[in-house]
Amino acid sequence: MSKQLIFIDDSGDPGFKKASSSNFVIAAALFIDPEIAMSLSERITKYRESLGWRNDYEFKFTKIRKDIIADLLKIISEYDFQIYATYVDKASFRQTSAIIDKQKLYDWTIKELLDIIPIEEAKIEIDGRSSKQNMRKTATYLRREINRNGVKKITIKFEDSTEDNLIQLADLIAGSINRSMTDKTDAKVYIDIIKNKIIKIKRINQK
């Protein structure tokens, strides 16, 4: 069996300040066949070139036109991969004393995401936005938690999303899921395009 490829990014933020997002979503794109992952990455590059954008211009849900997001989601939905996601509705935490440190919430949300993915042997790539120290701590925590119920062969890397089309894909997925939880007029537009790829979206409740 080929090594599974898992690409992870988030939408919203894990903080609890007044200006923080209502929800925090972490999504994963799971590829069983690495050749499909490579083919999709190349297709995303070609789409970027068709727009006349630089090679390092990032597809990011919050920064590009929504018609472009919809077009790209239609393209990627033709490929064979699976979507898993976890999310935190922070309103339920704010109503109690259960508010936790944002780094701990970030790590915990990824851990809960990986728990619902049937991992056997996987290479996991995560958007590397944190400091190197936090990345190391997160990777150590995830390896320990994933292996708690039996040893699995995994590698975890934090990558610059501007250089990784498939982490950008995960960003668009996370953004689509997060948007679907709002009352905006386009709330369901993007998630409806990729709904056939979604295996599971899990709400994280308070411990």
User: Which letter, b or e, does each residue of 162-177 get, where b requires 16 or more Cβ atoms within 10 Å of its Cβ?
Assistant: eebbbbbbbbbbbbbb
Residue keyed to tokens 């080929």: 2
pLDDT in tens, 54-92: 998 999 999 999 999 999 999 999 999 999 999 998 877
In SS3 terms, 44-103 reads as HHHHHHHCCCCCCCCCCCCCCCHHHHHHHHHHHCCCCCEEEEEEEEHHHHHCCCCCCCHH
State how far the Cα of 64 lies from the Cα of 177, in Å rounded to an integer.
Answer: 16
pTM here? 0.93
Residue closest to 97 by CA, chosen among 207, 179, 14, 190: 207
Domain architecture of the chain: domains with CATH: 4-203 (3.30.420.10)
pLDDT at 168 over 90: yes
State how far the Cα of 207 lies from the Cα of 202, in Å rounded to an integer.
Answer: 14
pLDDT at 202 over 80: yes
